């Protein structure tokens, strides 16, 4: 089974989880990068601009991924939680690639509440089999706890 991990990360938290999943599952990993980001990585304005993009359902232009989605049987999709849902970069990805008949794992990182993030992604991916989901609180700050949680989660996934 060929597995891909596709993620967006603003501050590195979701990236940390993505890399752990990729290493443990021997999966290919792809980072979604905005061509031009308007969201600062730190400070109060990151919440203002990020929240605005979520509320307006914006789809920022992404750098080319250079991926053949059809090659993968299982895809793990990762996002930070923004305004109780997934990031605009994930919206752009889901809008560009039609995922059908795949096994899907969903992961997200956050500092506060999870909101409807996982369910909102599922709602965009009808016609797929959801095999796993996890949310991780502050993975960089809580490194040891996060790694243990991710590893236990991965050990229980049946793909």
Predicted structure pTM score: 0.90
C-alpha–C-alpha distance, residues 126 and 103, integer Å: 11
DSSP character at residue 153: H
Average pLDDT, stretch 8-20? 94
**Residue ranges per structural domain of the chain:** 3-155
125-147 tens-digit pLDDT: 999 999 999 999 999 999 899 99
Percent of the chain past pLDDT 70, that is, above it, reads 86
DSSP secondary structure string for all residues of 91-137: HHHHHHS---S-EEEEEEEESS--TTHHHHHHHH-TTSEEEEEEEEE
Dump pLDDT digits (tens) for 64-115: 999 999 999 999 999 999 788 999 999 999 999 999 999 999 999 999 888 9
CATH for 3-155?
3.40.50.360
| DSSP classification of residue 20 | H
Instruction: Supply the DSSP symbol for 34.
Output: B
Contact 95, 120 (CB under 8 A): no
Structure tokens at 59: 């789809």
pLDDT over threshold 80, residue 61:
no
């Amino acid at each position: 089974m060929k597995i891909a991990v596709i993620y967006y990360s603003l501050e590195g938290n979701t990236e940390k989880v993505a890399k752990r999943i990729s290493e443990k599952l021997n999966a290919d990993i792809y980072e979604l990068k905005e061509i031009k980001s308007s969201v600062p990585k730190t400070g109060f304005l990151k919440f203002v601009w990020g929240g605005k993009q979520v509320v307006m359902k914006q789809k920022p232009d992404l750098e080319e991924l250079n991926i053949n989605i059809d090659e993968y049987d299982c895809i793990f999709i990762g996002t930070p939680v923004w305004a109780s849902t997934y990031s605009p970069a994930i919206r752009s990805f889901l809008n560009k690639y039609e995922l059908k008949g795949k096994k899907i794992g969903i992961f997200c990182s956050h500092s506060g509440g999870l909101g409807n993030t996982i369910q909102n992604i599922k709602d965009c991916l009808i016609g797929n089999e959801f095999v796993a989901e996890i949310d991780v609180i502050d993975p960089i700050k809580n490194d040891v706890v996060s790694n243990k949680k991710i590893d236990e989660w991965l050990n229980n996934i049946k793909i």
